[in-house]
Structure 1
Amino acid sequence: MSWSRILPTAHCDSEGSSSITKTAVDTVRAVVAVPESELRRWRRTFDANAKEINGEKFLDPESFVNAIAPKGDLTKIGREQFGILFRIADTSRRGFVSWDDFTVFETLLKRPDADYWMAFQYFDVDHSGNIDYNEFKTVFSANLGPDAIPFDFDCDWVKLYLGKKNGTHVLGYNEFTQLMKGLQGERLRQAFHYLDKDEDGFIRPEEFKRIILEIAGHKLSDAVIDRLPTLCTLTPGQRISYSEVIAFHNVIREMDMVERMIREATAKSKDGRIDQTDFLNYAASNSRYSLFTPMEASIIFHFAGRGVGSQRLALIDFAQLLDPRWRPPHEHLVEKPTASVSITQKILMSAYYFVQGGIAGSIGATAVYPIDMVKTRMQNQRSTVVGQLLYKNSIDCAKKIFRNEGFLGFYRGLGPQLVGVAPEKAIKLTVNDLIRSRAMDPETGRIKIYWELVAGATAGGSQVVFTNPLEIVKIRLQVQGETAKVGGAKPKGAIHIVRQLGILGLYKGSSACLLRDIPFSAIYFTAYSHLKSDFFQEGYNGKKLSFLETLAAAGLAGMPAAYLTTPADVVKTRLQVEAKTGQTHYAGLRDAFVKIYKEEGFKALFKGGPARVIRSSPQFGFTLLAYETLKDLLPYPWQDKPIQMETALTSRPDDLSKVRARNALKILLDVHGDFGARAAGFSGRPLSLSNPKLSSSSS
């Protein structure tokens, strides 16, 4: 590349190579405005990969690729193919890139059109700033092997861009970009015409595969490439028409849009699946003009559905078409030697997440325990007691607890709560996850709302074995503060309460506890799931919820669940609290409901409802947030990873300069799948590392 077109201070050395002075490098940095932080990052990358020669560092082709290639690239472009760009950076053709060369190369990658600019530099052999017919033909031909489908450079299409052979018309940069954008279509037309020997408008399946491998093999997974000949089954005759070839090429060219439409359509589908009609309808309703023809839709579903294009397909079914690096699922699975190992793994995994659920529950319970204290005191206050009510409202209750019992009064009974909350929350979260995983469609990740409710309800019911003893001890400890204040009684400890109640007494009010926890969990987990997917759109185009979005979903889901189950919680509290002299005694669940309603009215059943919402909503918010964070940060080490469809569209964005370097390669590889592999001699003669002529000045 001649930097003189963009760097006016460049000069040539004795061998005619362009040499970039420090002033020139500073100029190009200033033009693109490279921040010092980015310059330091480039320096770290250069130093980490460079080799030292005569006291200076340089990148050879291999270390240059290590410096610029995207890490974990989700395309099918091999790392060695990034070596094509070495020819662009190594303008002196000495086989090495200096720090100044690397800086200019990275700076140019910051251009918004860096991908096309790099391709232009590759074709502009004489560094004139224009590309004539001979340059285009020479570079193109040098990258075609002897077995490649020939390209007619004297065709009308080339003449429209470059005129005749006499060089009367040359391409500037902008014209070149349009030529490259349309080149693949012309190659496709010429290749079909070349292989259609009898000119009947059809080619054989193996010939179609040959065409696609030359111009688009790097964009397709091996599974799709193996099945390319099956395109002939879409129409009678076992041959492939030009229309089908063009339609297939259009699908490849618009693959990003294909993926967007599929992801969005399956996300909004009720069952997580779509057919051809759904796809075409969604594409038509979300674009200004028609995006895909019926033939193109048939091709998409043909390769995604393994030849059965009429079926309804889930997002994962399209993976082999959308993901160039897709592999058959069985290649990722490790077979278990015996069924007992599988059962052991399941038990260990459940135990692992059980512990995480307990930790998460403890975090949530501690965060909101003061609110729970106020809620319990308010629910236990009875309007039929002789004398003045102790608390006017929740705020008054909080003030009096702080004034009479101090800050630690808000945490009275926290010990038993933490002892019980770990297994309580752990069993609830584990059971819910277990049932959901069994009822979930493995391909779509969807679960019917009936099973969502069943999973939540079962989880709520199963926790009562831990919840009830915990609740009754906690509540009696919480109300002792007001008893001590009013009657002068000495507070008793948790052990005394357990001995007083006995085993059966610890399950007093369990029917009310079940009546509260079963509907609570059914409502909560269902609402939480749909808030994440429907409101915050988790998984939509690969979206992952942020910290605040997860907390908001978990918190909002707790509001209706907490308030709607308040009557059961009020009855449970009354049944579990030891009645004082003059207070109504309750014989059971039904008796408590009736007496509370008759003596205190309907509103009494919702006493402490707001406090319950204020407590339960953040508690479950922090609990679910902690649980999901722990599962993400510390997943079960031996768990089989589910099949994912991660593509460049949904992956974490790479550094933009590396994305542009990759896109520049795609433009060149569209000319031929082996572009650059046969042009080593054309790209210049590299010198050995020990070459004494290698100077400190960069190209």
Structure 2
Amino acid sequence: MAGLTDEVVSKSQQTAAVVVDALVGHDAPAPEASAQIHAHFDKYASSASPEGVKLMTQVDFIEAITPPPNSVAAAYHKIPREQYGILFLVADRSQKGQITVQDYAFFENLLSKPDAEYEIAFRLFDRDGTGVVNFNDFIQLYKENKSADALPFDWNSSWASLYLGGQKARRELTYAQFSQMLRGVQGERVRQAFLHFDKKSTGHITPAEFEEIIVKTQKHKLSDHLLENLHTLCNVGLSSKISYAHVRAFQNLMKDIDLVEVIVRKAISKSKDGSITRADFINEAAQTSRWGTFTPMEADVLFHFASLDNQTGRLSIQDFAKVVDPSWKPSERLSSEKAAAAVSSGPKPLQTVLKSMYNFGLGAIAGAFGATMVYPIDLVKTRMQNQRVTVVGERLYLNSIDCAKKVIKNEGFTGLYRGLGPQLVGVAPEKAIKLTVNDIIRDYAKGTGPEGKGVSLPWEIVAGGTAGGCQVIFTNPLEIVKIRLQVQGEIAKNTPGMPRRSALWIVKNLGLLGLYKGASACLLRDIPFSAIYFPTYSHMKKDWFGESETKKLGVAQLLISGAIAGMPAAYLTTPCDVIKTRLQVEARKGETSYRGLTHCASTIYKEEGFKAFFKGGPARILRSSPQFGFTLAAYEVLQNIAPFPEHDADDLSGLNKKAGRLHATGLGDFSGDMPWVRSRNALKIILDLDQNFGRSKVKPTEEEWKRIRGLGGI
């Protein structure tokens, strides 16, 4: 019977051992060291056993798992390099002060696990390798590493007791339970520290006290920008002190900083100008998560710190990088000299050229789409304007609708698109020149508006008018070819045997000077058109829809603004368009040949009356307004479908690629060597308990390194 009992006990012990191994793998055989691990170990191992087996000391270990001190990824001003020595306790399974290549391979294997950071922290406190962390071992190691000036923390508090048990009945924590406790310990440290400073229970602490709390609990996880400006959190509210609500908002924001980056990137990818407002962030956060992830106060805190160097209300990826990237520091900003060198070296101009080509291409496609959609209206407008007879019975077209019907009847549906080719060819350069010149002059005139902001109305008119004048160099040749093709159908109908001419034939027949016939009238039309259109469009967006630096308009609002702005611009310039059309169309037999701008205007007035100057006016409005609408809509859709990949000069020039990081955005921490990253992240979790973990209290010699495990410096 006793033998049976012993056998049951033995099997129970074996089962327990298997369970422990399955849970934490503590007693699993050391993984076979690969050639790469062997090479890495041999590179840093400086000691050897009496048998000649290479061994790695704690100093060697630190050098092996951390980036060199001069590396961009080091960031040792926040986490001193010697603190990585605490991780040596995990690798030194035999607790001899030196490790073999098998021990090092075991540690490297830990780093490759998905939950490496938490498992390393667990193994550090599981001193006996039992698969659980008991209270005494935990507190002993905590006290050994706690700094003398650490913020007070009560491990007998109600929060800690929920995990570790009360003083009368302590609990042992499994890996899962211990990891969960570490997950929440930083928040509890902040709460207890707040209560420590708020002795009168006012619910507020001073900015200096808040700064001390965060520096002593989260310094290892925050960027230099945040650390330098912690005291400014009081500016989020109206008080000179900081409330617990603001402290908790800051804490929650930092806890979910990876999600913040995801939301920021998604929101900015949808932004036309690469920047977002607070409302954009909150809207994207609501779409990204099932429930409201961030409170209004948390959004206020985020935008407060991100906008300290940019008060416009619209923040770019670079602004957010200073908050979400813990490796960001002021010393990494490009100096003006380096920035100039980056620009002159080629990548920045190349980026500018590529962006211009991108905008030019999208503008050409969008412009062609808009022109195609309204081209039948444009053809009807041209036919109506070219109709010279005043006797009703002799009129070819009674009105615009009658004109459209007769074109389809006599020339087929394709007749409505006669001359479309040259029009499409001219859309790209015309739109490019007009928009570019307008933007250049508006940029030059910035600050001339009321209170030194924006652009004054006179400058807006000058910018628009100049843009309209510059486009004539392309517009006039294309207009004259288009118009002659548009009226060719009705000429052929009235003149039997009249051959149809191609666009190329018309160009050759006119010659270079002939292509600019009617250019004076074209200037007379396009200059006032753009002088009316651009200021009206700008003020529609700003005054009617409330566009500002902090409010971005939607596509529908932009379309309405463009369409409405096009109406007065189109109708008021119709007389100039009529004169231009008459000058550019070949006079038929028996019709007056116009000798110039003045002669054309006076002849029209004498023969047809004042109303003739507004022939085709409604058709011109019907064409211009929807054309701008279609063009803007197509442009917006194309930008969403194929957004331009934004990069900064320093990203393209490779100035910061030594550490494998993309400083163009500033987002994304060092990722060049995964063992370094995982070691650092594991240490950060341990430092949530106290900033002093692993920091040496003395400067030990090499011999002392072998005796003092987990403490020391290099």
Structure 1 length-normalised TM = 0.57
Query: Which residues of 2 match residues 76-95 of structure 1 at below 5 A?
Result: 83=84, 90=91, 92=93, 94=99
Equivalence for 1:674: 692
| Higher mean displacement: 197-206 or 514-523 | 197-206
CA contact 1:566–1:605 (8 Å) conserved in 2: yes
2:437 is aligned with 1:427: yes
Structure 1 residue 665, shift from structure 2 partner? 4.7
The secondary structure found in structure 2 opposite 1:431 is helix
User: What is the rounded CA distance, in whole Å, between the counterparts of 2:20 and 2:625 in structure 1?
Assistant: 69
Structure 1 residue 538, shift from structure 2 partner? 9.5
Equivalence for 2:29: 19
Structure 1 residue 248, shift from structure 2 partner? 6.8
User: What is the rounded CA distance, in whole Å, between the counterparts of 1:657 and 1:479 in structure 2?
Assistant: 70
| Higher mean displacement: 126-135 or 76-85 | 76-85
2:521 is aligned with 1:508: yes
Structure 1 residue 140, shift from structure 2 partner? 1.2
2:78 is aligned with 1:106: no
2:520 is aligned with 1:492: no
Map Cα deviations across residues 88-112 of structure 1 (whole Å, 9 max, x no partner): 9847573767778656643433xxx
Query: Which residues of 2 match residues 415-454 of structure 1 at below 5 A?
Result: 423-432=433-442, 435=445, 451=455
Equivalence for 2:217: 215
CA contact 2:363–2:432 (8 Å) conserved in 1: no
The secondary structure found in structure 2 opposite 1:675 is coil
The secondary structure found in structure 1 opposite 2:686 is helix
User: What is the rounded CA distance, in whole Å, between the counterparts of 2:440 and 2:349 in structure 1?
Assistant: 7
In the superposition, relative to structure 1, how do residues 595 and 248 fare at CA in structure 2: closer, same or farther (>3 Å)?
A: closer
CA contact 1:461–1:518 (8 Å) conserved in 2: yes
Equivalence for 1:31: none
Structure 1 residue 516, shift from structure 2 partner? 2.6
Structure 1 residue 506, shift from structure 2 partner? 2.0
2:248 is aligned with 1:250: yes
CA contact 1:10–1:21 (8 Å) conserved in 2: no
Structure 1 residue 382, shift from structure 2 partner? 2.0
In the superposition, relative to structure 1, how do residues 572 and 168 fare at CA in structure 2: closer, same or farther (>3 Å)?
A: same
User: What is the rounded CA distance, in whole Å, between the counterparts of 1:495 and 1:222 in structure 2?
Assistant: 71
Equivalence for 2:130: 128
CA contact 1:65–1:82 (8 Å) conserved in 2: no
CA contact 1:76–1:324 (8 Å) conserved in 2: no
In the superposition, relative to structure 1, how do residues 176 and 465 fare at CA in structure 2: closer, same or farther (>3 Å)?
A: same
Superposed CA RMSD: 7.3
Map Cα deviations across residues 219-272 of structure 1 (whole Å, 9 max, x no partner): 5555765677899999xxx9x9xxx69667535423349997x999xx9xxxx9
The secondary structure found in structure 2 opposite 1:672 is coil
CA contact 1:120–1:176 (8 Å) conserved in 2: yes
User: What is the rounded CA distance, in whole Å, between the counterparts of 2:474 and 2:518 in structure 1?
Assistant: 12
2:40 is aligned with 1:51: yes
In the superposition, relative to structure 1, how do residues 291 and 575 fare at CA in structure 2: closer, same or farther (>3 Å)?
A: closer
User: What is the rounded CA distance, in whole Å, between the counterparts of 1:201 and 1:647 in structure 2?
Assistant: 35
Equivalence for 2:364: 365
Q: Of the candidates 476, 479, 485, which is equivalent to residue 480 of structure 2? A: 476
In the superposition, relative to structure 1, how do residues 394 and 221 fare at CA in structure 2: closer, same or farther (>3 Å)?
A: farther
Structure 1 residue 476, shift from structure 2 partner? 0.8
Structure 1 unaligned runs (5+)? 26-42, 275-285, 442-446, 541-548, 639-643, 687-699
Map Cα deviations across residues 62-96 of structure 1 (whole Å, 9 max, x no partner): 565569xx998999965959957955984757376
Map Cα deviations across residues 511-569 of structure 1 (whole Å, 9 max, x no partner): 3213332344346567899999989x9999xxxxxxxx99x998887555556754357
Structure 1 residue 673, shift from structure 2 partner? 1.9
CA contact 2:441–2:463 (8 Å) conserved in 1: yes
User: What is the rounded CA distance, in whole Å, between the counterparts of 1:635 and 1:301 in structure 2?
Assistant: 25
Q: Of the candidates 576, 600, 611, which is equivalent to residue 595 of structure 1? A: 611
User: What is the rounded CA distance, in whole Å, between the counterparts of 1:669 and 1:605 in structure 2?
Assistant: 71
2:142 is aligned with 1:140: yes
User: What is the rounded CA distance, in whole Å, between the counterparts of 1:50 and 1:99 in structure 2?
Assistant: 11
Write the letter of the residue equivalent to 2:523: S
In the superposition, relative to structure 1, how do residues 184 and 539 fare at CA in structure 2: closer, same or farther (>3 Å)?
A: farther
CA contact 1:428–1:460 (8 Å) conserved in 2: yes
| Higher mean displacement: 366-375 or 196-205 | 196-205
User: What is the rounded CA distance, in whole Å, between the counterparts of 1:200 and 1:151 in structure 2?
Assistant: 20
CA contact 2:322–2:666 (8 Å) conserved in 1: no
Structure 1 residue 381, shift from structure 2 partner? 1.5
Equivalence for 2:571: 567
Structure 1 residue 427, shift from structure 2 partner? 1.7
Equivalence for 2:421: 411
In the superposition, relative to structure 1, how do residues 253 and 457 fare at CA in structure 2: closer, same or farther (>3 Å)?
A: same
CA contact 1:217–1:225 (8 Å) conserved in 2: yes
Structure 2 length-normalised TM = 0.56
Map Cα deviations across residues 439-490 of structure 1 (whole Å, 9 max, x no partner): 799xxxxx98x75988875543221222224222211112333556624486
In the superposition, relative to structure 1, how do residues 477 and 145 fare at CA in structure 2: closer, same or farther (>3 Å)?
A: same
CA contact 2:207–2:230 (8 Å) conserved in 1: yes
Write the letter of the residue equivalent to 2:364: A
Paired residues, number: 587
User: What is the rounded CA distance, in whole Å, between the counterparts of 1:436 and 1:635 in structure 2?
Assistant: 28
CA contact 1:531–1:553 (8 Å) conserved in 2: no
The secondary structure found in structure 2 opposite 1:507 is helix
In the superposition, relative to structure 1, how do residues 301 and 587 fare at CA in structure 2: closer, same or farther (>3 Å)?
A: closer
User: What is the rounded CA distance, in whole Å, between the counterparts of 1:416 and 1:61 in structure 2?
Assistant: 66
Among all aligned residue pairs of Structure 1 and Structure 2, give the percentage whose two residues are the same amino acid: 19
Map Cα deviations across residues 268-295 of structure 1 (whole Å, 9 max, x no partner): xxxx999xxxxxxxxxxx99999799xx
CA contact 1:50–1:60 (8 Å) conserved in 2: no
Write the letter of the residue equivalent to 1:672: D
Equivalence for 1:612: 627
The secondary structure found in structure 2 opposite 1:130 is coil
The secondary structure found in structure 1 opposite 2:520 is coil
Structure 2 unaligned runs (5+)? 1-15, 44-55, 279-289, 389-394, 398-402, 493-497, 595-599, 654-662, 698-704
User: What is the rounded CA distance, in whole Å, between the counterparts of 1:438 and 1:646 in structure 2?
Assistant: 33
Equivalence for 2:414: 399
The secondary structure found in structure 1 opposite 2:112 is helix
User: What is the rounded CA distance, in whole Å, between the counterparts of 2:615 and 2:645 in structure 1?
Assistant: 47
User: What is the rounded CA distance, in whole Å, between the counterparts of 1:116 and 1:462 in structure 2?
Assistant: 65
Write the letter of the residue equivalent to 2:414: K
Q: Of the candidates 377, 380, 383, which is equivalent to residue 381 of structure 1? A: 383
In the superposition, relative to structure 1, how do residues 664 and 613 fare at CA in structure 2: closer, same or farther (>3 Å)?
A: same
